Structure 1
Amino acid sequence: MVSLNFDPRLCRNESEVISKLIVSYLLPQLGYSPDSWHQEVKVADIRLDFLTLVTPVIPFILDQIRPPNIVIEAKHPGQKLDRHNRKLRRYLSKLNARYGLLTNGKELKIYERDADGEVRLKFACQGKEIPAKINDIRAILGKISLSDIQQTVSSETERISNSPPCDLQNRTTAQTVNVSGEAERISNSLPCDLQNRTTMEEKSNMKVIAIYHNKGGVGKTTVSVNLAASLSRKGKKVLLIDMDAQANTTFATGLIKFQFEEDDNIIQSYVFHLLESGDFNFIPDIVRRSQGFNTPEIDVIPSHINLIEHQDKLNKIAVSRSRLLVKLKQVRDYYDIVIIDTPPSRDLYAEIPLIAADYLIIPSDLKPFANQGLNNVKNFVKQVNEYREAIARDPLVLMGVLPSKISTNSQFLKHTFPRQKSVISDRHNLPLMESIIYERTPLSNCLSRTKNEGEIEIPDPKSIFDFCDLKSDTSAEQSAEDFEFLAAEVLNKIQ
């Protein structure tokens, strides 16, 4: 029976929010019949209260072509909605849904995911205001209102489906680019959507960001992988490059699953092979997709412990310093952002990323050794900028020092942390980023996860975002929010 009104006082628990508000009142008022909404749906590792489809699908299937139109989450009237909005945001991103509705009967909030992947609050009202504002809600979430959007998506899907297939490994033509006297043959063999995008965009907006500090243990890898994950979830096409022989980023993105040397599937194709020649081994040849790390997965150029053995060979070839820069130009119309995790050193493998990058982020725990190392970083950047000038490249832009692995102890944050921050600007004359990456247990746990396959335990690292989907707690949510804030700051600074 369809209710013509709604009284939030009738909702005493989550079950009654579902039955009396959502099922009996809201869904019928928005024009959804029982065949167009689904209750208690499990999609991968997500369990949803409700989702709706403008066009019913039989059998029920969710994919990129047929995402849900609305994800609905009901909560107990005694729970604050602010505790759950982050999880709803993740659901929208993971399911490619446009709208999310969150309610406890006392309040109702609608979130919208835009074309750039940003999720923002679209509408909010008190439970007692729902009947009076049902037309406003219907204008956003009503079945009729969303039909036009569905038709637009279907038309675009048909256009993409009719595009000719491409073969990533099929090389047809080549062009020559000269950097510092070296002719680099650039292959036009690109992924299918890369080729399509190249023809549609006249000017590249790809930005390259190096994550560097010459001191180890300041969180470079944690920042690199989770910043890449956050940007990817915002709809950006991200390439993550591991330039450190420790291969921590390669491990963190799920690419090292083997337990024995004979099963090593990285050694024949990793970042060294990208640097060894200008005539072969281009990015499409080396790139891999992360494995079980993030939703969506990201593209990774892996590293290997053997990288260190090849440094002398590359040092003898002057143009090896600019090969990454040249090969990134090949994919400049495909990727939006490239993030490079660097080694804690001042050698060739640290120099190459700083030559290729547009921007630099310096993670630092702001402790004495890390702060003292900032002078070394400044001098190293100065040397790199001299080389950049010699190849007609603008100086590296310092985005700022990023406070990383910062204690959450209240007394530390009140007394010590402000003094540590002041040292960055007062003594070292460096900008400090607004974002702060706090040291919390989930940030280490998410990258050290394992799982059993038969009798063997294998690594199963996750981004902090996918970790939250598996094990949601306040600390993990806060860490994910740290990286969402960082991603937003980065996007703002590179625009």
Structure 2
Amino acid sequence: MLSYAVYSEAGGVGKTTLSANLAVAHARAGLDVLAVPLDPQDGDMSYLFDADDDRAKGDVDTLVHHLVGRGKGEFTDLIRTVEHGVDIIPEHNRLEDLGEALRKEQEARSDFGESFPMWTQLQRVLREAEVNKHYDVLIVDPPASSGPHLYNALDATRNLVLPFEPSGKGQASVSGLDDLVTNLEEQLEINIGVLAAVPNRFKGTRDQEEIIKEIEQLGFDVPVILRDRTSLLEGCWRKRCSAFTYVREHRNRQRDYEIETLAQFDKLARHLENEAGVDAPTPPEPGSLEVGEEVEV
């Protein structure tokens, strides 16, 4: 099983957009995908996939209920299926109080001499639901800030995909990841792998090219480079769909540079699958809007 969290310390680097499009890219290739977004802010993956209609309802079962051992139903009842067959656990406003809910449960269990490690609850829930038997790919989208959302995401996936903007600020963010990953490994007592660093909003300047080279020299794999496609990705959020669906259904003509971006999502998905030894049964031609036939990759 391929599992990873898409994470960046810096905001505004397209983390959630990348997560969503990678989920679709994996599913396009015939893999079963579960996406678990953990960002408590609005404008999240649930919104992008138009699956957040229960976000503010107080009487529904949520992932937070299950993380504290108080689920109202089966874990599978939380799942919504969105475009290309991607399964997602929709975000709920209760995620804003996840840290407090975990702390309260830990204190209550402690009163009875029971252990309740706060950072391993997502892994527990996924394990009890036997997610690894039902899915080929698990993608977790935590917020940029450190805390229970991020720690649970890392403990459950053990791998990172790191989007960054090739600027001085983005370079500093990625350059500090060695220390960040080391600190998280020590705190969580796990090993964390970095599957890929993904430059986003690349405009082809010499400075940006130098920054990407420096990132590679730090030992980070950079399998693809995503150019600046503001119009395309803003359109995805406006129409609440992936870039693949947006180009196919909401563009009156195909633009070569947008097809190139779709191809980069596909190529990155294949790279991540190869890293985990996962074979996609029907990988499409990178960037193709027609899927279902296996091609040489």
Q: How far 1:376 sits from its partner (Å)?
A: 4.7
Unaligned runs of 5+ in 2: 107-115, 278-297
Residue of structure 2 equivalent to 1:190: none
Unaligned runs of 5+ in 1: 1-205, 450-460
SS at the partner of 1:447? helix
For residues 313 and 488 of structure 1, the distance between their equivalents in structure 2, rounded to whole angstroms, comes to 38
**Deviation sequence 1:399-436 (CA, Å, 0-9, x none):** 121112222xx5x2xx222211123144xx24132112
Letter in 2 for 1:328: L
For residues 384 and 321 of structure 1, the distance between their equivalents in structure 2, rounded to whole angstroms, comes to 11
Provide closer, same or farther for how the CA distance between residues 439 and 311 of structure 1 changes in structure 2, counting only shifts above 3 A: same
Matches within 5 A, 1:94-243: 206-243=1-38
Q: Any conservation in 1 of the 2:62–2:71 contact (CA below 8 Å)? A: no
Provide closer, same or farther for how the CA distance between residues 232 and 269 of structure 1 changes in structure 2, counting only shifts above 3 A: same
Residue of structure 1 equivalent to 2:276: 494
Structure with higher strand content: 1
For residues 363 and 307 of structure 1, the distance between their equivalents in structure 2, rounded to whole angstroms, comes to 23
Q: How far 1:280 sits from its partner (Å)?
A: 6.2
Spell out structure 1 runs of 4+ moving beyond 4 A.
264-267, 278-282
* Larger RCO, structure (CA 8 Å, separation 6 or more): 2
Provide closer, same or farther for how the CA distance between residues 278 and 377 of structure 1 changes in structure 2, counting only shifts above 3 A: farther
In the alignment, which of 233, 251, 268 is matched to residue 443 of structure 1? Answer: 233
Provide closer, same or farther for how the CA distance between residues 322 and 278 of structure 1 changes in structure 2, counting only shifts above 3 A: farther
TM-score by length of 1: 0.49
Matches within 5 A, 1:77-96: none
Residue of structure 2 equivalent to 1:304: 92
1:313 aligns with 2:101: yes
For residues 164 and 133 of structure 2, the distance between their equivalents in structure 1, rounded to whole angstroms, comes to 32
For residues 268 and 376 of structure 1, the distance between their equivalents in structure 2, rounded to whole angstroms, comes to 40
In the alignment, which of 96, 105, 123 is matched to residue 325 of structure 1? Answer: 123
Instruction: Pick the structure with greater CA Rg.
Output: 1
In the alignment, which of 56, 68, 81 is matched to residue 276 of structure 1? Answer: 68
Residue of structure 1 equivalent to 2:80: 288
For residues 384 and 285 of structure 1, the distance between their equivalents in structure 2, rounded to whole angstroms, comes to 32
Aligned residues: 260
Question: What is the Cα-based RMSD across aligned positions, in Å?
Answer: 2.3
Q: How far 1:238 sits from its partner (Å)?
A: 0.1
Letter in 2 for 1:304: H
Provide closer, same or farther for how the CA distance between residues 494 and 313 of structure 1 changes in structure 2, counting only shifts above 3 A: same
SS at the partner of 1:324? helix
SS at the partner of 1:362? strand
**Deviation sequence 1:296-316 (CA, Å, 0-9, x none):** 231101213442223223145
Letter in 2 for 1:241: V
Provide closer, same or farther for how the CA distance between residues 490 and 310 of structure 1 changes in structure 2, counting only shifts above 3 A: closer
Residue of structure 2 equivalent to 1:178: none
Identity between Structure 1 and Structure 2 (%): 23
Residue of structure 1 equivalent to 2:294: none
**Deviation sequence 1:110-145 (CA, Å, 0-9, x none):** xxxxxxxxxxxxxxxxxxxxxxxxxxxxxxxxxxxx
TM-score by length of 2: 0.79
For residues 138 and 182 of structure 2, the distance between their equivalents in structure 1, rounded to whole angstroms, comes to 22
**Deviation sequence 1:315-357 (CA, Å, 0-9, x none):** 4525231111122222211100000111011111111101111
Provide closer, same or farther for how the CA distance between residues 266 and 246 of structure 1 changes in structure 2, counting only shifts above 3 A: farther
SS at the partner of 2:85? coil
Q: Any conservation in 1 of the 2:61–2:71 contact (CA below 8 Å)? A: no
Provide closer, same or farther for how the CA distance between residues 271 and 433 of structure 1 changes in structure 2, counting only shifts above 3 A: farther
For residues 58 and 49 of structure 2, the distance between their equivalents in structure 1, rounded to whole angstroms, comes to 13
Provide closer, same or farther for how the CA distance between residues 355 and 280 of structure 1 changes in structure 2, counting only shifts above 3 A: farther
Letter in 2 for 1:355: D
In the alignment, which of 159, 162, 167 is matched to residue 362 of structure 1? Answer: 162
Q: How far 1:375 sits from its partner (Å)?
A: 4.9
1:396 aligns with 2:192: yes
For residues 193 and 153 of structure 2, the distance between their equivalents in structure 1, rounded to whole angstroms, comes to 13
For residues 26 and 5 of structure 2, the distance between their equivalents in structure 1, rounded to whole angstroms, comes to 15
